[in-house]
Each structure stands twice: as C-alpha cells, then as structure tokens.
Amino acid sequence: MLVVMRSHATPAEIARVVETIAGLGLTPHPLPGATRTAIGITGNTGAVDKARFEVLPGVEDAIRVTKPYKLASREMHRDDTTIAMPQGTVGPKSFTVIAGPCSVEGEGMILECAAHLMSRGVKFLRAGAFKPRTSPYAFQGMGLEGLAILKKARAQTGIGIVTEVMDVEHAAAVEEASDIIQIGTRNMQNFSLLKRVGQCRKPVLLKRGMSATLEDWLMAAEYIMAGGNYQVILCERGVRTFSDHSRNTLDLSVIPPAKTLSHLPIFVDPSHGTGKRAYVPAMSLAALAAGADGLLIETHPTPDQAMSDGAQSLDYPALDALLAQIKQLAPFFGRPV
Amino acid sequence: MLVVMRSHATPAEIARVVETIAGLGLTPHPLPGATRTAIGITGNTGAVDKARFEVLPGVEDAIRVTKPYKLASREMHRDDTTIAMPQGTVGPKSFTVIAGPCSVEGEGMILECAAHLMSRGVKFLRAGAFKPRTSPYAFQGMGLEGLAILKKARAQTGIGIVTEVMDVEHAAAVEEASDIIQIGTRNMQNFSLLKRVGQCRKPVLLKRGMSATLEDWLMAAEYIMAGGNYQVILCERGVRTFSDHSRNTLDLSVIPPAKTLSHLPIFVDPSHGTGKRAYVPAMSLAALAAGADGLLIETHPTPDQAMSDGAQSLDYPALDALLAQIKQLAPFFGRPV
Amino acid sequence: MLVVMRSHATPAEIARVVETIAGLGLTPHPLPGATRTAIGITGNTGAVDKARFEVLPGVEDAIRVTKPYKLASREMHRDDTTIAMPQGTVGPKSFTVIAGPCSVEGEGMILECAAHLMSRGVKFLRAGAFKPRTSPYAFQGMGLEGLAILKKARAQTGIGIVTEVMDVEHAAAVEEASDIIQIGTRNMQNFSLLKRVGQCRKPVLLKRGMSATLEDWLMAAEYIMAGGNYQVILCERGVRTFSDHSRNTLDLSVIPPAKTLSHLPIFVDPSHGTGKRAYVPAMSLAALAAGADGLLIETHPTPDQAMSDGAQSLDYPALDALLAQIKQLAPFFGRPV
Amino acid sequence: MLVVMRSHATPAEIARVVETIAGLGLTPHPLPGATRTAIGITGNTGAVDKARFEVLPGVEDAIRVTKPYKLASREMHRDDTTIAMPQGTVGPKSFTVIAGPCSVEGEGMILECAAHLMSRGVKFLRAGAFKPRTSPYAFQGMGLEGLAILKKARAQTGIGIVTEVMDVEHAAAVEEASDIIQIGTRNMQNFSLLKRVGQCRKPVLLKRGMSATLEDWLMAAEYIMAGGNYQVILCERGVRTFSDHSRNTLDLSVIPPAKTLSHLPIFVDPSHGTGKRAYVPAMSLAALAAGADGLLIETHPTPDQAMSDGAQSLDYPALDALLAQIKQLAPFFGRPV
C-alpha cells in the first residue's frame, strides 16, 4: 500500500497518516518528493483497507501495490495446475467436456444419459440434486434421492459426477456422491460454504458470481485453498451487465487475464452464459479458442420437456455435432481430445 | 404468459407450441390475430420459463404477464407493512435509524456504543458477530462470543440488536440474540439460508444483492415469506456498475418502484453504499427524501482504529449532526422522529 | 504516474521501463525499495497512458497519481462556481428549476407553457428544437423553426431558454436562441461539438453519458473549459446498469464525489433518469437533499398527447405540487427559493 | 404493441387507454380475456413509446411485439449481406483482417506499414487522422494532413483505407480518402453524423457504443441505411461493465444474436476490447470461432513509442504470428483466407 499526500498537505496531516498506520500495527515509510509526500506501508499479512486512508485529511489517494490473494496467484505457483482424476486430467494439455441435464429428474433418465455420454467420450456428467431456484415455488431438486441416483450412474458406467452443494449441511453427502463438487454462482461469496469445501478433498468447480470481479473470484478460490483444498477449477458462466440480448453476458475476455494472474484451470458454461441453445455451439468453440480448459454444457434427451433450463439445453444430436467440432479444433490449441 | 408467434408461422409451428404448453400440464389459449397468432397460458402455479418458448420454431417472443412473486407484491397486500417491536415500529409513519460499528470488537466498546446510541434516541444497534470478509485472512468476527456481548448490551440498555446470520448452523443462536436478523448482500440468493430464516419469528433485514434486479430481490423476500415469516425489511446498500467514484453505486432510484410493486418497508445503508464517510450524510437525507423507511449507518467511537470498514464509519459527533438534521427533516415527509 | 515493478524484476526489465519513459520525453525517477523498485514519472503535460507500462515485462502495476483534468478540478478552483444570468444565479446558495416539454411542438404550446412557468416562479424553459431520437423514423424536432418559437417565448415572457445543440453546423443558431446550451447524453464525448461550444459564451449544461465515469464527465467539461468557456453545469440523467426497474439508473450518489472533485454546479434530470412520471417527485426531492444545485423536469400541458417522452412528463398540477414541496424544503439546505 | 390491463381494471380505465391510442393516430384492438383485457395496437410506422401506456391507470404492462428496426433486420433481408470492394469481399465466406496503428503519426511510418501489411496479405489499413481523445490535452491527430498521407499509401500500395470521421464538417474529405468510413464508439448515437454518412456511398464500419444494447446498435445502423447507404459493418469493441480486469469487456457473446437478428456483417476489435496486447491473439481467435466476419487489430512498428494506444498494439512479429494462426484456423469455419 502506498498513501499519496496532496501537494499542499501539512506536516500535521502527514503525521496523522503515519500514526494511523502505526496504530494498525503496520510499518509506515514516509517518502518525501519534489511536490508531494508518499507513505509506503509494509508489515501487513492480509489486505489493508484502502479507503481507511483515503478519508484522512491531506490524502490524495491510497494505492494497493500487492495482490490480496496468494495461493491462487501465478506469482506463488508458476506452472498451470493440473488435476488428475480417474476419468481424466484437467489442465493445459487437455480439453474437458462436462455435460448433462440441469437437474436430476429421475433414475432412468440419468442412467440413460450417463451411458450416452460415455459412448461419446464425455467422461463427466453434470446434474443438480439440489437446485438454487429463483422462485420458492419452482422445482427444488430431488435432494438426497438425486445423489443416490448419481452414485448409481457412476457405479454402472464409471462416469465422473459433477453436482452442486448448496449448504454446509449437505456437504458430506455431496462430497461422497461427486467427483467434482460445484459451487454455484449465487454462493460464490457464501464464505461459510467455501470454508467447508476447503475441508473436502475432491476438486471444486467454482462458478463466478454474477457481478464478481476477477479479484473477488480469485479471493473466493483463496478461501477454499486456505483450507487445504488446492484443486479448484474456475468456471465463467456469464455476468450481469446492461446488455439484454441474452440471459447473461458470457465474459470470455476474462480468460486471458485469469490465466495471467492465476495458475488455476478455467472452464466456461455457455449454457447459462447465453440462456439459448442456438448460441451454445459458437460460444463453446470461442471458449476453446480463448484459452479455456473445458466446458460445462447442458444437454437433455428431450429439452422441451426438461424440468428446468430446457431452453438452454442441447439435445443429443446437437451435442454430437458440437463434440465433433471440438474434436477437430482442440488439437490446434495443443489440446488433443 | 403470452407466446407471440411470427407473422409467417406455420400451423405446424403453432401446433407445436400448443402441445409444448399442454405437455407441461398448463392450458394453452390460441388467439389468432390479423397478422399473427398469440397463445395465452394459464394454469401455472409458479413462474413458467419464458425462454422455453422463445426457442421453438416460429416464435417471435414470450411475454410474462403476471409477477412471479405473490406474498411480497402490492397486489396481494395493498397497505404498507408495518413491523412493531418493543423498541419501535418500522413503517410509513416513522423513520428508523439503526447505527453501530461494522463488527463487535469487544464488550466495552459495544456496551459504551449502545449506551451512547440510546442517549441519542437511536433504538437499534447494528454490529456483526459473524463477518463475511472478502479475504480469508481478514478478521472474521468474534462469533458466539460476539453474540453474547450483544445480548448483554440489550439486557443493560434495552436497545434492539441487528446482526447478521451467515449460515444455517448459527441461525438459532443469531435469532435468539437479535431483534432483527440481517441477511447480507452476498447471501441474498443463499436459498438454504433464506428458507431457514423463513422459519424464524423475528423480522429479517434483507440486503439487496450486488447485481440483483428488483424482481430478484422481491423473489428472495418471497422465499422468506413462503416459510411463514412475513416481517421482511428490504435494504438497499449499493450495486455493482461501471461507475468507480465510490465503493458501490447506491441506487436510491429503486425506492419508488419498490414501493409501487411491494408493500414491504425499505431501508438504505449509505455506509456500504458509498464506502466513504464524507458522502454518508448527504445520501442519508436523500434516502429519506426518496421515500426510505429507515437507515443503517455505520458509526464507531474511533473510526480510524476500527477493525473493519473504518473509512465508511461516522464518529459520534458526525452521527449527532446527522441525527439532528434527520429530526428536523423527517416530519416534512410525514415521519415524526 | 508511478510504475511499480514485480519483486523479482530483473535490472534489464527495470532499464527497459526507464528507457520507455525517457523515449516518451518524460523524466523517470527509479526508487529502489526493500522488496521491489518503483519508478516515478514527471514532466508530462497531459495524462500518460497507464496501460503502456502495464504490459512491459517485470511491471506489477502502473498508478496514476494526479488527476487528468485541471480547469474542472476543485484543486484549481476551491470555491463553488456560480453562474449569473438575467433570470437568476446558479450556484450553492440557490436551487434552480428548469421545466418544459421534451420537444418544441408548436408556437401556441410553447408560449402558453412559458407563461405558465413564469407565473409559477420557474425562470427557465427547456424544450428541444433538435431531437436526438433512437429511431430515424421518430419525430426529429422542428429545427430552426423551433428555435424561432423559443426566441419569441423569451421575448414575450423574459423566460430563460435551455435547448440542445446536436451538431457544429447549428451551434451558432442554438447559441443565439438559448440562455443555456444543452449537450445531450449521447454527445457527451462528441469532441468536435464540445470544442465548438467551448467557443460559445453562453453557459453549457453537459449531460452525463450513459456509461460515463465521473472522470470521463469532468474530462468532457475540461474540453469545453479548455476553449475558454468556464460556465459549465453538469447534469446527471441516469446511467446504464443491469437494473431494469426504470428506464435508466438515476445515480444521485455521484453528487457528493462530483462536489468533492470539482467546483462546477450539478443538476439532476429525474424525468429521463426514471422514465416514469410517478417516480419524478420523490427523486427530485432526493436530488435536492443529495446536494444538487437544480433540476431539469419534463412537464407538458397534456402529457398523454406529447409527441415524445409523454410517459415521463408531469402535468401542470403535478408540477405545481412538486414546486410547493421544493419551496418548503430548499431553505433547509441553505437554498432559499 | 400490446397493452395488458390489470385484472381489476375498470371499463373507464380501458376506455382511456383506447382513447390514448386513437389520439396518437393509431388503431386500438381491445381483446377481452377471462381475467383481464389486452389491447393491441396497429398502424404505427415507427416505434411507439412503451412507457406512455405503462403510466396510465389500470395498465399492468405494455409489450413491444415487433422490432423497431426494419432495414437492418434479418426479417427484411434473409441472406447475409456481403460487401464487395476492390481489395476483397466482406461477408460469410471470408475473414477480413484490418490492421494498422491507432493514429497517422507521419508519412514514412504509414507508407512503411502499408507495404508491410500488403506483403503479409492484409488488404486494409486502419489509422486515425482525426482522433477522439478523452483529454483535450492529448494528441488530436494530424487531421487533413493525415488524410493526404493515407491517400498516398493507397496510391502506392493499393491497400484499402479505414479511417474515422468525427464530424459532418470533414465527412466529404474522409469519404474521399477512405475505402471504409469508421464511426467511433463515442459517436454511435451522434445522429447528425449518422445521417451524413447515410449520404455517403462508401461502406461504414459502425463501432458499438460503450453501453449500447444490440437494439440501440441496430437502430444506429438503421439511421445510416435509412439514408440509402446499405453497406454497414458492425464492430464490437468492448462495453462498459463492473468488470475491471481489462480496459473494457469485449462482448463476443453479442455475435450469435446479432447474426440472428440482422443480416449485417460483424467485426471485432480486440485491441480496444482488451486494452492489452497480450490478450489480443486469444480474443482474435475466439472472435473468429464465435462467428465474426473480420478483425480490427492495432499494430505498430514500435508499440512502446506509439503516440496513442501503444499498450494495446501488436508489433510486427506478433501480428505475423497471429496471421499464421488465423490462416490455419479460418478454413475450419468455412472462411478461406
């Protein structure tokens, strides 16, 4: 942190800033210049609140010099993180497709879907047993019964399970049933839940909050990693902007800076990102080209009858066509599929 | 819901929409017009997914005609909700100030602050025992020990306690310690937590999510009310926009439409909304003028030494000055203080 | 500008930054520290592009220390600007109401409206002769004929005229017809037009762009002032956000920081800011309470028949009621009306 | 337009809506239903203001059924527009790269750059003679002298010229010097300028405004097309959001809906969209994959010495590497280069 004083700041104003810094148990370093004084701060373990200094008399600006996240940062860990699972490895040399319906709707449908995906080379099934629905009157998911169905699908086909945990209460059950635990966008800053999955030893797919900056997102990853779980996968799924041409604004432009600042893998969910199935294939290929390590795609045997999010789900022929395009395109980006 | 077909839609396309509606257990009402057909939908108990129809061939647009929230809506409950508590009544004929530090930092400080506030006519103390901090390395609050301190402050002074609940696990303890339970902005769509406080019988102050539309916000209130807890207070605290002149963009413009669509009281938190103490008084008076029913103001005996959010906290003389202005201004708006 | 190097930056990387600065004709000041080096920059007359340094190898961050605007800044001009006109003075001791229809629709209507406003103590009439309409098929304004009508209204009643200029071509005609020249929100960064009105000697009301930061806005004011026209009035009129409860998001929270950073007066347009007449009175009073120096209110004798923006226009009785409230409330803020 | 009445709307309220519609010269079609009445509107040539009806007593909602743009819409023109120029054809079967420096900085540099680009197969040079700079103190471009240099480059090498017009005054000169006239993002709703280039007979590259919805953008194209100039190329260049990881948020997700709603070609400017050269190659390939018809890339022989926007400019080796990747990848998308 660097506190920049106004050009006409008085010695008393400078002294007050120095005292405020010392009063926080930190070390002030006054640096007088030709037209103004700046005061460096060291000794902080976490982030120092910038605004605390901005309001003191005589202060022009307070500037944060270092990043507030450590374990998630590229500075701490230069190489890209890879996550090895029985079904495959997530990382810079591969491209991982996770597909499946929005919700677990019943046993037959999930078993059939798992078998279909495995037959197409898709090694991970996504499906929610606990559903974060905007309306309390909407279908809330099959709960523990849904988890049992997912476990059965894994036992029968070997497919990896990706499913969402919504609260601390069900964390153990979700961890047991899943190969990758999903944290949904609305819970990206549910810090109690982040701490809890930091205790898990399964990889965590962390969806970006609807208005999360890249720093907020990496700080949420830091919460999980600070608990000892270093297997975090970031997942971009669209953010809230003024733009109204689709359900959300899928922000592919976050991928290059995320790769620069962090070593964590990053996936893209074009289904929630666009909200319309017609836009999913183009945005999937664009995600691959932008540097994503994988995709999360909603697919359903009969999208028009889906219990949730049918409008953004691909049917099987559309998924097959997209997988064929990915297979052809991914090697161009050093990601043999 | 009304599904509007394109002008050149074929009879087969219209038939498919009708079938899709019927397949969802709803009743389709085809309404042929001069240039195009529209199809009304009735029989839905909750909201119908608009996007489900938008993707069908021949469909121009799908339009939601009724609001997805019921208990929170002005249509269901024409009069403004008032919430009576021992310390005072929240509603259209009063203006309620809640003040206090960001965090419970210790017993002496809270007791002293409670006594000071009561001496100034402020009947509610806000202070967090559980703190949702962006960084896992920042002070996370005093937890259960903090709740014990708040209970002691209430016992000694009679002041009402407003404090945040962060997870289902601590809901019972927070309910016991508080007169108003706070749901923080990052948990506005933590649906497990919303359902849990729907079981509480204390009023809930529901902060708006950083990118929540008014509808999202009222749907979150609906989750609480659907559980039988009708005492919900909305609280605007700034939203995320492109604008960078303050920590958030305090959206006072949401107050008139919130009052039009809902009967619930609405408070404003200008401290988080601006992030700088110098801007708090002007925005407090503006909130009153815009129609707010109360304020949530961070105050601290020595803001420069606060353990969190010191930069946006008023000191006691600044709070006193603001209270004096409110006392003079509130009667103009039919809110004797 | 201060360029902060990474902790492991090499001497060669530091040397390249120093050379880049020198190559721009500026003076580099390397400041080695315990863990990293920072490099100060002086000698720039205008702003230096921050991103130019951020991309160089070894650079952690580039930090702007001074503001890029000068004439518009409070540092340059400590006292609030006041603008004296025959009809009244704009500034911190007064509260100026500008009212009138969106468009000049005809002579009778404007003369009648001007007379009505003067009878109510409103000294400035707003009405557009040139209209920036989103659709090329919408009414584009009466043009020069409209300006002639406005001049006639001024001659007959003495009312001040506020009207928009859309291009350099008509700048002289608009200047002649108006007492305050309006720059619309869509032209806030039409730099050719800003330079042209910088040559005018009438006050300029500069509407904020739909996604303009406070800095963008003050830089637009700087363009006008750099031409020698120091009589600039800022006007907030709503910005674009994710929020959909009204036409725009009226950002009253910009007022306190604008007053801190700049000496220029600031007005608020709650009609465009909300888009609905029912919300205008509450937001008008909130603007006054937030520190605004005046209002721009759309009013129309028969809003339901207005040729543009009828939905956000007050009728005369509604305007009268609002003026009565302002009269009562403004003295509280040191602004006798 | 469809006006939906509340369920308890009175006959008098319905009659007032019908009268208001008729009073606008339009035809009302009342459609009584089981629980409420809706009123259709026909006879409008342009868009009808939705908000005008929303404020009438008894009205629940007003819903726009048809799009306000016609010439730009896919409904009017089913096939993708192609634009043939001597240097090449813009459209669905090709991928057009436009490259060059931000500004014309001098004759030698432009002639050298044009020759280099032609040697690499790049047929269009972009460079600004008139520069829209945020600061009045920044380099404003070489003006007419710059246009003369661009004409010389075209004469010597045959390269196509893409350059920005900032005002009506210089429109004729820019049209003469250019093969594609650029409208900058800050002028997307400078309607006087849009009308003027509608009179030109050169293609117009229309950059998206910083907070323009897709509809705003297509309406701006409609302004140009309404003047008889149908050769419009849309260009996405990043929008303003809360996100701060790059200069703007490059919105590739707008491409699929733009292609659905309109027949116009769409380009992407990843240089302004990201503001950092390191992110340009990934976003360029992603734009191609998302369905873009071309790119606008800033390149400079020595970016660190550029007079503007150096931080986002590629040097020649980086451009060469990107062109090689595009050459390999474009045929996959049916766009032989």
The residue extents of the domains of chain B are 2-63, 83-333
Whether B241 and chain D come into contact, CB under 8 Å, resolves to yes
Which amino acid, residue A55?
V
Percent of chain A clearing pLDDT 70 (strictly above): 96
Which chain B residue lies closest to A24 (C-alpha atoms)? B305
Q: What is the pLDDT of residue D72?
A: 92
Average pLDDT over every residue of D231-237: 98
Interchain proximity B2–D63, CB inside 8 Å:
yes
Interchain proximity C51–D192, CB inside 8 Å:
no
Q: How many angstroms separate the CA atoms of C247 and C228, rounded? A: 35
Average pLDDT over every residue of C50-78: 82
CA angle B230, B236, B237 (to 5 degrees): 130
List of residues 6+ apart from B39 with CB closer than 8 A: B2, B3, B5, B14, B17, B18, B21, B28, B29, B30, B31
Q: Which of residues 148-177 of D touch C (CB under 8 A)?
A: 166-169
Q: What is the pLDDT of residue C4?
A: 82
Instruction: Tell me what the pLDDT averaged over chain D comes to.
Output: 92
Q: Which residues of C275-296 are buried (b: 16+ CB within 10 A; e: fewer)?
A: bbbbbbbbbbbbbbbbbbbbbb
Q: Per-residue pLDDT tens for B64-120?
A: 756 788 889 887 788 999 999 999 999 999 999 999 999 999 999 999 999 999 999
Q: How many angstroms separate the CA atoms of C216 and A125, rounded? A: 47
Whether A278 and chain B come into contact, CB under 8 Å, resolves to yes
CATH of region D83-333: 3.20.20.70
Whether C285 and chain B come into contact, CB under 8 Å, resolves to yes
- Residue in B29, B61, B242 nearest the CB of D241: B242
Which chain B residue lies closest to A16 (C-alpha atoms)? B304
For D242-297, the DSSP string reads S--SSSSB--GGGHHHHHHHB-S-EEE-HHHHHS-GGGHHHHHHHHHHHT-SEEEE
Whether D260 and chain A come into contact, CB under 8 Å, resolves to yes
Spell out the CATH class of A2-63: alpha beta
Q: How many angstroms separate the CA atoms of B333 and B11, rounded? A: 58
Burial class (CB in 10 A: 0-12, 13-18, 19+), A33: middle
C-chain CB neighbours of A39 within 8 Å are none
Whether D55 and chain B come into contact, CB under 8 Å, resolves to no
Q: Which of residues 221-240 of A touch B (CB under 8 A)?
A: 222-223, 226, 239-240
Interchain proximity C329–B289, CB inside 8 Å:
yes
D-chain CB neighbours of C275 within 8 Å are 51
Q: How confident is the model at residue D65 (pLDDT cuts 50, 70, 90)?
A: low
Q: How confident is the model at residue C47 (pLDDT cuts 50, 70, 90)?
A: low
Q: How many angstroms separate the CA atoms of A209 and D309, rounded? A: 31
Q: How many angstroms separate the CA atoms of B266 and B234, rounded? A: 5
Same fold, A2-63 and A83-333: no
Interchain proximity A245–D213, CB inside 8 Å:
yes
Task: Write the CA distances from C113 to B15, C148, C175, C316, integer angstroms.
Answer: 55, 15, 21, 9
Q: What is the pLDDT of residue C44?
A: 65
- Residue in C214, C242, C286 nearest the CB of B211: C242
Q: How many angstroms separate the CA atoms of D5 and C233, rounded? A: 42
List of residues 6+ apart from D324 with CB closer than 8 A: none
Which chain D residue lies closest to C210 (C-alpha atoms)? D211
Average pLDDT over every residue of C242-256: 93
Burial class (CB in 10 A: 0-12, 13-18, 19+), A195: middle
The Cα of B33 is separated from the nearest Cα of chain D by a number of Å equal to 9
B-chain CB neighbours of A52 within 8 Å are 304, 310-311
pLDDT greater than 90 at residue C74: no
Touching C (3+ Cβ pairs <8 A), the chains are: A, B, D
What does DSSP assign to residue A140? Answer: -
Touching D (3+ Cβ pairs <8 A), the chains are: A, B, C
Interchain proximity B52–A222, CB inside 8 Å:
no
Q: What is the pTM of this model?
A: 0.88
H or E segment to which residue D81 belongs: none
Beta bridge partners of A4: A38, A61
C-chain CB neighbours of B277 within 8 Å are none
Listed residue (C290, C299, C295, C279) closest to C327, CA to CA:
C295
H or E segment to which residue D12 belongs: helix D11-23
Decide which of C56 and A162 is more confident.
A162
State the first-to-last Cα distance of chain C, in angstroms, to the nearest integer.
45
Q: How confident is the model at residue C67 (pLDDT cuts 50, 70, 90)?
A: confident
Q: How confident is the model at residue A172 (pLDDT cuts 50, 70, 90)?
A: very high
Do residues C204 and D117 make contact, with C-beta atoms less than 8 angstroms apart? no
Whether B183 and chain C come into contact, CB under 8 Å, resolves to no
**β-bridge pairing C96-100 and C294-298:** parallel
For A220-249, the DSSP string reads HHHHHHHTT---EEEEE--B--S--SSSSB
Q: How many angstroms separate the CA atoms of C305 and D24, rounded? A: 7
D-chain CB neighbours of A246 within 8 Å are 253, 257
Provide the number of CB pairs (under 8 Å) joining chain A to chain C: 32
Structure tokens at B278: 């110098």
Interchain proximity A282–D255, CB inside 8 Å:
yes
B-chain CB neighbours of D31 within 8 Å are 31
Q: Per-residue pLDDT tens for A208-251?
A: 999 999 999 999 999 999 889 999 999 999 999 999 888 899 99
Do residues C284 and C272 make contact, with C-beta atoms less than 8 angstroms apart? no
Taking each helix axis from N to C terminus, what angle separates C280-290 and C316-329, rounded to the nearest 10 degrees?
20
Q: What is the pLDDT of residue A33?
A: 62
Q: How confident is the model at residue C63 (pLDDT cuts 50, 70, 90)?
A: confident
Q: What is the pLDDT of residue B33?
A: 62
- Within 13 Å, how many C-alpha atoms sit on residue A6's CB side? 17
Which chain A residue lies closest to D244 (C-alpha atoms)? A213
Interchain proximity A290–D286, CB inside 8 Å:
yes
pLDDT greater than 70 at residue C329: yes
Whether B65 and chain D come into contact, CB under 8 Å, resolves to yes
What does DSSP assign to residue D186? Answer: G
Q: Which of residues 70-129 of D touch C (CB under 8 A)?
A: none
Comparing B209-223, C114-128, C261-275, D304-318, the range with the smallest average pLDDT is D304-318
Which chain D residue lies closest to A259 (C-alpha atoms)? D279
Interchain proximity D290–A285, CB inside 8 Å:
yes
Q: How many angstroms separate the CA atoms of A327 and A320, rounded? A: 11
Percent of chain D clearing pLDDT 90 (strictly above): 71
B-chain CB neighbours of C246 within 8 Å are 253, 257
Q: In which residue ranges of chain B is pLDDT below 50?
A: none
Do residues A206 and A236 make contact, with C-beta atoms less than 8 angstroms apart? no
Listed residue (C56, A93, A253) closest to D279, CA to CA:
A253
Q: What is the pLDDT of residue A32?
A: 67
Hey, is B321 helix, strand or coil?
helix
Interchain proximity D285–A289, CB inside 8 Å:
yes
Which chain B residue lies closest to D36 (C-alpha atoms)? B65
Q: What is the pLDDT of residue B135?
A: 85
Structure tokens at A233: 């996968």
Whether A137 and chain D come into contact, CB under 8 Å, resolves to no
A-chain CB neighbours of C241 within 8 Å are 242
Whether A310 and chain B come into contact, CB under 8 Å, resolves to yes
Interchain proximity A134–B187, CB inside 8 Å:
no
Do residues C99 and C91 make contact, with C-beta atoms less than 8 angstroms apart? no
- Residue in C189, C239, C276 nearest the CB of D186: C189
The Cα of A242 is separated from the nearest Cα of chain C by a number of Å equal to 4
Q: Per-residue pLDDT tens for C145-194?
A: 999 999 999 999 999 999 999 999 999 999 999 999 999 999 999 999 99
Decide which of A300 and D39 is more confident.
A300
User: Would you say the ipTM is above 0.90?
Assistant: no
Report, in angstroms and rounded to the nearest whole number, the Rg of chain C calculated over CA atoms. 23
The Cα of D143 is separated from the nearest Cα of chain C by a number of Å equal to 12
**β-bridge pairing D37-42 and D2-5:** antiparallel
pLDDT greater than 90 at residue A138: no
Q: What is the pLDDT of residue C66?
A: 65
